[in-house]
Amino acid sequence: MTRPQDILRPDVLAMTCYPVPNSTGLVKLDAMENPYRLPAKLAAELGERLADVALNRYPEPRPTALLEKIKFAMQVPAACEVLLGNGSDELISMMSTACAKPGAKVVAPVPGFVMYAMSAKFAQLEFIGVPLNADFTLDADALIAAIETHAPALVYLAYPNNPTGTLYDDADIERVIAAASKSLVVIDEAYQPFAQQSWLPRAADFDNVVVMRTMSKLGLAGIRLGYLAGKASWTTEFDKVRPPYNVNVLTQAAADFMLDHLDVLDAQAAELRTERTHLEDAIKALPGATVFPSAGNFLLVRVPDAAVVFETLLTSRVLVKNVSKMHPLLANCVRLTVGSAEENAQMIAALKLALH
């Protein structure tokens, strides 16, 4: 009998699945989700819209009306086109697949979003991680040296970065873009609603830049919709490896509806930015905790013992992310999602127990 071991790639057999812990009954502050649900009236209107969706039909592969609405709502430059993905993860996968020539490489700062390296591995691209500085700022000189040495197909720059929350200096990014003349620089703006700074207005100013965003952090993680904005010369090619019906009809309808109500999501993001400041101030007052500056909806915190803090919070029914094993620079660090005022108060109370 044929076994998986007989036909699957050895590196796939050696992998483990992406870990998603069970959060039932917990205050879920591990995945940078927006903690607020839609207002009841708006949720009811959305339900009516979704009830009218033709579930018996395949979705539009290139939903023109939705694409135009995204361009208008997000102020995408006129010289750019938009490509949709089933979350940013799928867009990263599409780019990896399209660039997977023999010997092709991917370069990105580390620690960073794990899917850059994972998608590269899936596509059998070599991933080169360039460590950040000790304070999690971008080591632009080292990154440029890696680009010059390896001539990668793709260079990822998260703006701001996950899990550190760092918003890289614009001058450093400009230097990287200039050095990557034989690469595509992907500026990942997943947390733009909390950073309030963006490279999207400049996406058409460079021949080797695309900007990637997601609706997830804006408050719609459940619909799984990401989008890539860039010159048509790039989006047209990546579109060739897109699964033909990758964005389902319910996601398209929900996104179309919510783009008419961005004021609600923007207000929630503003509230989370305020809560981020309150949470940062509260953690700074705790003994043994070092908080790093964050432009995302999360805080990276170094504590005396990340495992003890994680387990103490879990005992208090608060789930956060222990990132201390992800990279040496993250030693004894935990990542805390900014929740509602009530959730943050519960997390602070648990942190006081862990750091007393």
| Tens of pLDDT, residues 123-180 | 999 999 999 999 999 999 999 999 999 999 999 999 999 999 999 999 999 999 999 9
Within a domain: residue 53?
no
Question: pLDDT tens digits for 32-45?
Answer: 999 999 999 999 99
Q: Are residues 307 and 247 in the same domain?
A: no
* Host H or E run for residue 291: strand 290-291
Q: Are residues 21 and 153 in the same domain?
A: no
Within a domain: residue 81?
yes
Residues written for the chain: 356
Q: Are residues 189 and 106 in the same domain?
A: yes
Q: Report the DSSP pairing between strands 226-230 and 81-85.
A: antiparallel
Q: Which long-range contacts (CB under 8 A, 24 or more apart) does 318-322 make?
A: 318/26, 318/27, 318/29, 318/346, 318/347, 318/350, 319/21, 319/23, 319/26, 319/27, 319/28, 319/29, 319/30, 320/29, 320/30, 320/347, 321/30, 321/31, 321/163
The CATH number of whichever domain residue 170 belongs to comes to 3.40.640.10
Q: Are residues 254 and 271 in the same domain?
A: no
Question: Quick one: average pLDDT of 317-324?
Answer: 97
Q: What is the pLDDT of residue 266?
A: 96
User: Are the CB atoms for 231 and 208 separated by under 8 Å?
Assistant: no
Q: Report the DSSP pairing between strands 318-319 and 105-110.
A: unpaired
The domain boundary, picked from 236, 261, 286, lies at 261
Identify the domain containing residue 108 by its residue range: 58-261
The domain boundary, picked from 234, 261, 288, lies at 261
Question: pLDDT tens digits for 235-256?
Answer: 999 999 999 999 999 999 999 9
Within a domain: residue 49?
no
Q: Are residues 183 and 247 in the same domain?
A: yes
The domain boundary, picked from 227, 261, 295, lies at 261
Distance separating alpha carbons of residues 164 and 205, to the nearest angstrom: 28
Within a domain: residue 51?
no
The CATH number of whichever domain residue 275 belongs to comes to 3.90.1150.10
Question: pLDDT tens digits for 170-208?
Answer: 999 999 999 999 999 999 999 999 998 999 999 999 999
Q: Are residues 288 and 348 in the same domain?
A: yes
Q: Are residues 66 and 188 in the same domain?
A: yes
Q: What is the pLDDT of residue 356?
A: 80
Flag whether pLDDT at 2 surpasses 90. Answer: yes
Q: The pTM is what?
A: 0.95
Q: Are residues 111 and 32 in the same domain?
A: no
Q: Report the DSSP pairing between strands 209-214 and 184-188.
A: parallel
Backbone φ and ψ for 254, nearest 5 degrees, come out as: -65, -40
Flag whether pLDDT at 218 surpasses 90. Answer: no
Q: Are residues 248 and 271 in the same domain?
A: no
Question: Quick one: average pLDDT of 291-301?
Answer: 97
Q: Are residues 94 and 242 in the same domain?
A: yes
Asked if the peptide bond before residue 244 counts as cis, ω within 30 degrees of 0, the response is no
pLDDT band at residue 18, thresholds of 50, 70 and 90?
A: confident
Q: Are residues 293 and 350 in the same domain?
A: yes
Q: Are residues 279 and 196 in the same domain?
A: no
pLDDT band at residue 116, thresholds of 50, 70 and 90?
A: very high
